[in-house]
Each structure stands twice: as C-alpha cells, then as structure tokens.
A and B are shown apart, each in its own frame.
Chain A
C-alpha cells in the first residue's frame, strides 16, 4: 500500500545509527546515548507506522519488498510482515530502547559519582572499555538492526544472514561489558548457538537441494501441500543408505536443533543462565526480551510450516521436551541463589509454555472446526506470551539490575526488609513479578490461559504436567518477594535508595503495558488473529 520501502528503512535506521555512533570519540558519552535514543525513536516511529497501516483484517504478508539478490541460487532480498512479524518488530522497537535506557551508567561511574559502597570484586574485574559508551550504544543498535532484519526477512539466506548477525554484537556486548565471568559466558553463548546455526544451515541446504528454493513462504506452501514430502522421496532416496523418511527426520532434527538452542529447549539450555547472568543489564533485557523470541519465531516461521509431517511423527517426544523445559527450569530456578539466574531460569520456563503451544498444534486432528478454534487459541496464546514475556522479563531484569547497581550484590539472601526504605521500587517490581507468575488482570495470564486452553484438548497429559510449572513459578517468585522485600530491614539496607523519578519513568511504559494488555488483550489479538488463523489452516493436511 505504501510505496516507501518501510521495512528496509526500519532495518537501515539502527544500522545507520550504529555506524554514526561508532565513529564518535569515546569521550562523547551523552551524545552517543542521545543519538542512540534518537535512532531508536526513529525506528519506533517506523514500527508504529507499520502498526498503524497494517491491515488487521488480512492474515497475508504486507509491506512486501522483493528483489533478486543472487538469482543463480534462488537467493532473494525478500521482506514482509504478517501479524506475527509485526508483533515481533514492535517488541524489538520497544525493548531495545528500554534496554538502552536501563544501561544508563556503569557501576564504576555510579560508584564514582554517588560514593555508594559496592563490592570491590565487581570493580576490579571491570574492563576499561566499560566507559566506552559510543561503542556500547553502537553495538546495541547493530543488534537491533539484526533483529529487525531477522523478523522481516522471508528468504532463508537473507533471514539467516541477519539471524547470525545478531550474534556478533551480542557477543561483544557480553564479552566487553559483562560481569566477572563474562568471557567464558560470551564464548559459550556464541559457540553453542553457532553450533545450532550450523545444523540449521545444513538442514536448510538439504531442503534447498531437494526443492531448489530458499523462499520460506514457497517452502511453507510445499510443506503444507505435501509436495516437499514427495520431493524428499524422489530426490534424496538412498542417501547414506537411509530411507527418505529417516532422512527427512534427520534434516528436521538439524533444523530443530538450531532453534532448540536459541529458545532454548531443555536440555539445550545450559548456556542461558550463565549468559543472562553475566551480560550487562541492558543486554540481558534485549537477550531475554527479544533474542529468545527469535527461536520461537523460527519454530513458527520455518519448522512448523515446512516440517509438519516430521513434527507430527515426533510429537510425543517434542511435547515431553516442552514439559521438561517448563517443569525442570522452574525447579532449577527454585534452587538458584542469584537473582539474575532466577529470572533467567524463569525466562526458560515461560518460553516453555510457548513451546508447548507450538508443539501441540502440530498434532494431527481432523477437520472438525472445534480443533481450528483450539489451535487458534494455542497459537494466539503463544504469540501473546512471546510479547508479554518480552515486556515482563525485560522489566524484571531491569529491576534486578537496579538492585545490583544500588547494593553491588544480587544474592537472594543478601537483602531483607527493603520494602520499608524503597516502597515504590517494591510495588513496581511486585507488579512485574505477579505479571510473570500469571496473575489475572496483568499481561501474563491471558497468554498462558490461551496456550493451555488450546493445548489441553490436544494433549491433556502435557497440559496436566505443565501446570506444575505454574505452581513452582509462584513459589520462587514469592520467595524473592519474601526474602528481598519483607522481613526485618538489614543494617546495610538502610541506605538503599528508592526509585528515582527517572527510573520510574523508564519503567512506566512496561508497567502500563502489563495492565493494558492484561485487561485488553484484544489490542494484540486483533492484529494477529487472522495470521494465526491462516497458520492453522496451513496445518490441515
């Protein structure tokens, strides 16, 4: 509808910003941050324009741009968003500035200006680059560009380029600005996800060999009609002496592994707690808020449409993995003593619900319209949960970051009774926590309800086991409230400052969204419903 290539502009904006800011002298800290915010604002207004011009009555791709890139191998510059892509673009445009604002001042600067006592061990290990704000902002914008690109690209190679590009800034952000274990965490993060990417790439190359196409939309169509399955039978029969069916499963598993590491799916999750815990606050927020959604997005955009047969064959083990992700990560969170690691594990737990929904809709059902409704509910729930979790988890990381900034510590047992000296802090963090544990009236509930509503009739036992996760989540989140905020005020907590006006303003949009989406989920569901309906139609075999 719009002759302006909005999606290209959207990806270019932070990229240009990153280039401009990278050229700044390290001394110009506030200029870098100001410019970073400016480019974020620009990107946000572009995303808002997309939102405003998006035709919610259609589940089709919109704002499509398509140009040949490397015609000989079928690589195209192919952009477009449907409801799902739009939602993710919007989330990126919201969370990255939130993360940027959250990484206002480093611990060292804080200590220098306010004279707050902080743990010396954290300081001595802090690198000198910490003060290089332009590089930080530039990398964050670079990361944003990668995310925008990945959520809008629809040709596999085009998409893969951006998908991998996000790793580079994330790696350096963790490696240079992270906590004391940052180096090993960054390496593990990079290599682990890289391994997943390699298997994904190999699988998709196999698919290309079979079909001659990298076009995700065309591949989805082939997957839906079963053409892909028959092509598998013809083209790759006899490779390594394996049956086509087994080969297809191997190819599926390669692609699965790529996303499984990214989400992550239990047991491919061990890189996550260390990475989130070591990353600087603002980066943790973007990692959990947006980057973890790339995995679920990949499941929905690539795996589910292209490999519906294989997902059905593997349905039971996949559901077990989802249940394990939900339940074991919740239990593991219960045993953590570092606030950041607790939130990291709860992040795995929440994405587990998304996985549960994604896997359950792959189950084979007849053409009874009842199942369409249930599957639509589950997928609507998954998308809603992705968005909601992005906001809630980012807010929680922000709060934990603030605690750490104030006290220099973030152990569960390091505090007590802080509610007395910081009531507003406690109240707002409490809201975020209750949103996270799925309290009705706040955003987390509807997504979880819809997922469970859809999954229950499709896989009763999986839903029944997964509710253990709901219970354990309540236990560890309330334990945080109990140990950090309640009880007698510890002596060293007396100087703990409440939220400043600036901090309140930074977190206000997130808190407001928690309430708004909690009572008015139609705001999101209205935009994605038709996309989801179309996805569900695509699942009918």
Chain B
C-alpha cells in the first residue's frame, strides 16, 4: 500500500485543516467546529489503523517518503515521514484517545463562550502531535514539537481572564523552551556532524549505521563522545517536554487549563512527545564505541546490534529495514553476551541511556512523594503523570523502546480515563477541585466512580487484571536486570508503592466517606470561566433537573461513554504485553509476531514483588484513611497530624518553585537589569558624554570667537577709532587753535633754546 505511505501526511493534515477552518469561524458556529474536529480526528483514526495494519506485515521495516523542502547551496534540504511500528502504535493511540477526549469535551465545554476556539486549538494540538510522530526528520520533529508547545500554551491559557491561567501558560511555554534550546543545539550539532537530519534515508540517515559510526568515534573537548553529547542535548528537550526533574515545574501548573486539555496533555500529546523523542532517536541514545576498538574504522555497537538487512527502494519511497534496538524483554539477559568482550558491566550501557534512567528514577520517586500531600484532584493526577513519565524513562533507559513505549500507551489510556473522570467529578461538583470538599460521590456518580476506580487500579498497578500492572512490571523487571546500578529499581519500587498509596488516598477522599461539601462556601476564585455566565448556566440546568444546585450529579452520556470505552481499554490493553505473550515487544522490536513464551524465575519474582508493593500500597492507604480520614473539609489530613513538617515540605512541592524564583528567575532579572543599566547609563552615557564634549568644544569655540577673535577685532577697531578721533582733534579747521598751538610751540622752543645755552 504505497499510497498510504506517500500520503501519511494526511493524518496530521486533517486535524490541521479542521483547526484552520474553525479558526476562521465565528463564535456561534459551535456545532460546525466540534463536528469538524471530531470528524477529522475520526478520519485520522481510520487512516492510522490502516497504517497500523500495514506495519503488522513487516514490523522491521521503516517505510519512508522524503521530499525536497528547499535548496541549500549545492544540496537540498529534505523533509519526510516515516512509518514503522513505533509511529503506527503512537498514531493509533493518539487518534483514538484524542477522539474520545474531543467527544468528552463537547459535554464538558458546552457552556463555554469560546467553544469554537477550543476545538480549533484542540485540533491544532492533535495535528502537531501527529506530525511529530510521523516526522522522518529531526527538524520536522522539532517544528511539530514547538507547535505542540504552542497549542499547549493556547490551551493552558484558554481561560485567559484568570491571571493564574495566563501565568501558567507562559510558564509552561518558557520552561519547556529551556529544554528546547538545548534540544535545538543538539539538532544543530547533529546536523553539522552527520550532515543530515533525516532519520532513515536508505542508509544515509542520521540514525543509521554509517552516520552513527561517524559520530561515535569523535569526541568533544571534554572527552565525551560527540554522539553522547548530542544525545544528552536532545534528551534535555525531552526533560522539558515530559516534565522531568528539574524542569517539571510547569506540568502541575498546567492544570489551569480545562480538564480535557489536561487529559490531552497528560495522555496523548505533550508529555508523550518527550518519551517518544527518546524512543525515536534511541539508536543515537544507545550508540557507544566498542571499548577495545582502536582501528581506523571501529565497530559500533548499537545497544545490542543494529544491522542493515535490506536496501533502498524507489526514488521517492525508500524502504529500509533496520533491526531496531532491543530484543524483547525475555531475552534481556542476552545483554551479557556483549560484555564478554570487555568485561566491564558499566561499559555496556551508553552514558546517555544512563542519564535517561537516572533522571527517570529520581523523577518517579520525587513526584510520587509530592503527590501524597496534594489536595487538588487534578494536581494529584498531574504529579502522578510526572512520576509515571519517570517510569517510562526508566523503561527506555533500562529495557529499550518497547518497554518504555508500552507503558506510555497503557498510561495514555488510563491517565486519559482518570483525567476525564476527574473532569466529570469537577463538572458534577460545580467546578470544585479540592478533594477535601468532596467525598461519598460513589453513590451520586456511579458511572464515573466505576470507571475512575478502574483507572485508579490500573495506575496503582493492581495485579493481573489491569494494563498498568503489566507495563510497570516490565519496567521494574528491566530495571532489576540493569547492570550499572540497582538504585533505579529500588527508587522505582518506592515510587510504585507511593503511587498505590496516594491513588487510594484520592479515591477515598473523592468517592468514599461522607460528603464534605456542605456548609462550605463555593470557591469563586476557582471558577474557570466568566463566573457569572457559568453560575447561570449551571444554576438553570440544575433547577430544571429538580435537584439542589449544590448537590453533585452524574455527567451526561457524552461524557460517560468515552469514560467507559477508556476503562475497557485500560483493562484489555494488558493482553498485548504480558510476559506470557509479549506481542507488543516483538512488534516494536521489528520481529514477526510469532512468539515463544518464556517465563523465567526472575520474571516471576519481580512480578510478585511488584504485585505485593501495589497491593500493599492500596491496603495501607485504605486502612489509613478509612479509619482516620477527616470528617469535615477543615480537618487536617491524618498524615499531617502524624508528620507536620514532612507533610508541609511535600505539600510545598519541596519548594522547587520558590528555589527557582530565588535563583534562575532572579539571575535572569538581574542580567536584564544589568543590560538596561548598561544601555541607559554606560552606552547612552558615553554617547551623551561625547555629545557633551562636542558641545563643550563648540562652546569654547564660541568663546574664542566672541571674546578673542570678535572682541579683539572690535577692540582693535575701537582703538583705531579712538586714535583717529584723537588725531582728528588736531585738525578741526579753527585758525585760532592752530595759531595757539604755534604760539605754544614757539614758547616751548624758546624755553629749550634758553636752557640749552646756559
């Protein structure tokens, strides 16, 4: 089906078109905008399914279609798209989860003034993410990556009248842009060293053998391999986008957006982009020089072994087969083979992947700790996303693409489910987000409760039945087998335990116990929309339903049906990735889907530990809160009574925001002030000084002119005139005076004569 590969661009183009069209629509055309968005997404979903089917036949192939974008000197700059199992799996997930979120939004946003604009932004978001997934060029990926950032900016700040939403949107954009700046440098470096940014290009792409071989033998000035440096720079982008420590601060604030946006950001699009990026450039991340190689053309070891099995296709449609990265997990112990040659355990994992693993492990535990003490229903989920993304990075770092991406996919479903469920709760509780003011909702919102419980169990990793268990178990298993260190495994275990605990806490607060909303004044400041409109519409809808305006209510079917579908997926997705039938791993690793199940003692042991951890966490949480849980909204959390200082630190998110405020932000402001000072005082001062000197010189000049040259001239003239006047006195034409002078002269002469003769 070459048609599909040549026209893969249609998948992102359809939502993009929908976004463009609804951008031109007027506010009242709500139905048109929503149906355009949903219709385009449904079409994209069908195309994605077709693409998925296409890859099933030959999962080892990277079908690409490259084209010229512009000329550059004597070469051309080419873009392209690629279809391989990684892309196909992501496409199906994004379009499917996206579609459900779109449908849910119709109900959730029904009363919003800017409904039309909302669907425009949602479509843009989906389009950018789909473009990112199909890109066969790191620059194209980066472009879509930035557009994902733009869409998230627009959606987080959707309720722009709330100053906090506007600030959160800006914070999200700028925090992720910090990572992006490093990512951008990585792209530049890769481009200059590899000479191309195409991933797969018939053997000439930057993820293929020859380019990697070139990269890995060079080293930078600090002795680090160029490939490692580039991989780490690219990973910085992923840290920003996927909310890993230390750039996680924007993700919880992003909860200021409408809940469907949170679902989209946390499940299908934004944060998945970072994980996907690492998976996409995995060959670059994993590449490392063979320790003993000294020759002019050293052999390269790409994780295990990357071989080009088959060659190019036609001009426009190059089909390349690369046995990708990592064999399925049960063969994970095969890693030992490579070590025989150089003995050192540490050397068998590239520096970049070690960094990925460590960042992931630290984040997994760190965010889980914070989540324990949060009280906002969406923020708890937000921190759980941060933590789960950490797990995905552990999976990528220790187990390879399949392990990380499988958790990404299962997580997408149950996290979308949880966010939409929380949206349903918030909607039903009249925009209340504080779990201390909820409680006992299981009877009032049965569908939401049932689906939310499934999502919660999946996230907590409840054994056997739920997809989250299997995907997390694999990560822990891979971490267990990881040679450089056992710490990521232990950190992951702690994170998993805490996850089970805080999700149980949240379940108890929201759905069990007694309803604590009574007697609490409505929090008007958390009203997302124009407070007046919203109250009105809600008021009337409840009045017509005949209930008390403050009583929580179940959401309409347009919201609950997507919840049900997602809940089903959260359960059934597990069948693809159990150790007994690891279909997904062979698929992503490019193996034909025939599977020899291999269950070993180690596998079972880790599974058992993981199950115990999860159940233990749930048990502890349930016991703790059902006995000591607060009865009113004001009563402090029992944990707070137990350990007030620790709890305050956790609730304050380890005060990372405050730390940044005092450090990075303060430094930036100081630099800015210094720049302004330089401009206003130093450089402008210098200019003014020069002009003053010039003015001074002209002033001196004027003085010389007026007082020396002019005045001298004038005085000279005056002197001359005076002399002339005096002279003229001698000759005034009066004969008497002349005679008088002659007489005087004669007398004088007479006197001199007489004196002389004496």
Chain A interface residues toward B at CB < 8 A: 188, 191-192, 267, 269-271, 273, 327-329, 331-332, 334-336, 369-370, 372-374, 376-377, 380, 417, 419-420, 427, 434, 439-441, 445-446, 449-450, 452-453, 456-457, 463-464, 467-468, 470-472, 474-475, 478-479, 481-482, 485-489, 521-522, 525-526, 529, 532-533, 536
In the complex, how many angstroms separate the beta carbon of A55 from the nearest chain B beta carbon? 15
Which A-chain residue is minimally distant from B146 (CB atoms)?
A440
Most buried by B among A273, A522, A526: A522
Residues of chain B in range 149-169 having any CB-CB distance to chain A below 8 Å = 150, 153, 157, 160-163, 165-167, 169
**20 interchain pairs, CB-CB under 8 A:** A270-B684, A327-B675, A332-B675, A334-B668, A380-B73, A440-B142, A441-B146, A456-B188, A467-B184, A470-B184, A474-B174, A474-B177, A479-B170, A486-B165, A487-B161, A487-B163, A521-B69, A522-B69, A529-B71, A536-B73
Which A-chain residue is minimally distant from B68 (CB atoms)?
A522
B687 touches A270 (CB 8 A): yes
Is B111 engaged at the interface, CB distance under 8 Å to the other chain?
no
Kindly list chain A residues whose C-beta atoms are within 8 Å of the C-beta of B668.
331, 334, 472, 475
Our count of residue pairs bridging A and B at CB distance below 8 angstroms stands at 154
Q: Among the listed B73, B170, B679, B684, which residue makes an inter-chain contact with A373, where contact means beta carbons less than 8 Å apart?
A: B73
B143 touches A475 (CB 8 A): no
A372 touches B74 (CB 8 A): yes
Kindly list chain B residues whose C-beta atoms are within 8 Å of the C-beta of A453.
188, 191-192
Is B592 engaged at the interface, CB distance under 8 Å to the other chain?
no
Most buried by A among B72, B185, B686: B72
A471 touches B146 (CB 8 A): no
Is B443 engaged at the interface, CB distance under 8 Å to the other chain?
no
Which B-chain residue is minimally distant from A448 (CB atoms)?
B184
Query: Could you tell me how many residues of chain B have their Cβ less than 8 Å away from some Cβ of chain A?
Result: 54
In the complex, how many angstroms separate the beta carbon of B152 from the nearest chain A beta carbon? 13
Kindly list chain B residues whose C-beta atoms are within 8 Å of the C-beta of A450.
72
Kindly list chain A residues whose C-beta atoms are within 8 Å of the C-beta of B163.
486-488
Q: Among the listed B139, B170, B675, which residue makes an inter-chain contact with A328, where contact means beta carbons less than 8 Å apart?
A: B675
Which B-chain residue is minimally distant from A486 (CB atoms)?
B166
Chain B interface residues toward A at CB < 8 A: 23, 69-75, 139, 142-144, 146-147, 150, 153, 157, 160-163, 165-167, 169-170, 173-174, 177-178, 181, 184-185, 188-189, 191-192, 195, 668-669, 671-676, 678-679, 682-684, 686-687, 691
Measured in the bound complex, the distance between the Cα atoms of B672 and A331 in whole Å is 4
Most buried by A among B71, B161, B167, B174: B71
B687 touches A376 (CB 8 A): no
In the complex, how many angstroms separate the beta carbon of B51 from the nearest chain A beta carbon? 23
B147 touches A441 (CB 8 A): yes
Which B-chain residue is minimally distant from A485 (CB atoms)?
B160
In the complex, how many angstroms separate the beta carbon of A510 from the nearest chain B beta carbon? 17
A439 touches B192 (CB 8 A): no
Kindly list chain B residues whose C-beta atoms are within 8 Å of the C-beta of A267.
678, 682-683, 686
In the complex, how many angstroms separate the beta carbon of A335 from the nearest chain B beta carbon? 4
B192 touches A374 (CB 8 A): yes
Measured in the bound complex, the distance between the Cα atoms of B691 and A191 in whole Å is 10
Measured in the bound complex, the distance between the Cα atoms of B195 and A467 in whole Å is 21
In the complex, how many angstroms separate the beta carbon of A533 from the nearest chain B beta carbon? 6
In the complex, how many angstroms separate the beta carbon of B698 from the nearest chain A beta carbon? 13
B72 touches A529 (CB 8 A): yes
In the complex, how many angstroms separate the beta carbon of A389 from the nearest chain B beta carbon? 18
In the complex, how many angstroms separate the beta carbon of B110 from the nearest chain A beta carbon? 20
Measured in the bound complex, the distance between the Cα atoms of B76 and A380 in whole Å is 13
Which B-chain residue is minimally distant from A427 (CB atoms)?
B23
Which B-chain residue is minimally distant from A376 (CB atoms)?
B73
Measured in the bound complex, the distance between the Cα atoms of B402 and A506 in whole Å is 53
In the complex, how many angstroms separate the beta carbon of B442 from the nearest chain A beta carbon? 38
In the complex, how many angstroms separate the beta carbon of A266 from the nearest chain B beta carbon? 8
Q: Among the listed B170, B191, B682, which residue makes an inter-chain contact with A478, where contact means beta carbons less than 8 Å apart?
A: B170
A331 touches B676 (CB 8 A): yes
With A270-B679, A335-B676 known, 16 other A-B pairs at CB within 8 A are A188-B687, A270-B683, A335-B673, A380-B72, A439-B146, A452-B184, A453-B188, A474-B174, A478-B153, A482-B167, A482-B170, A486-B163, A486-B169, A487-B166, A489-B161, A529-B72
Kindly list chain A residues whose C-beta atoms are within 8 Å of the C-beta of B671.
331
Kindly list chain B residues whose C-beta atoms are within 8 Å of the C-beta of A486.
157, 160-161, 163, 165-166, 169
Measured in the bound complex, the distance between the Cα atoms of B70 and A446 in whole Å is 10
Top 3 A-B pairs ranked by shortest CB distance?
A376-B73, A440-B143, A486-B166
Measured in the bound complex, the distance between the Cα atoms of B672 and A336 in whole Å is 10
A271 touches B687 (CB 8 A): yes
Kindly list chain B residues whose C-beta atoms are within 8 Å of the C-beta of A427.
23
Q: Among the listed A329, A369, A372, A417, which residue makes an inter-chain contact with B161, where contact means beta carbons less than 8 Å apart?
A: A417
A525 touches B679 (CB 8 A): no
Kindly list chain B residues whose C-beta atoms are within 8 Å of the C-beta of A191.
691
Measured in the bound complex, the distance between the Cα atoms of B139 and A176 in whole Å is 48
A475 touches B174 (CB 8 A): yes
Kindly list chain B residues whose C-beta atoms are within 8 Å of the C-beta of A532.
73
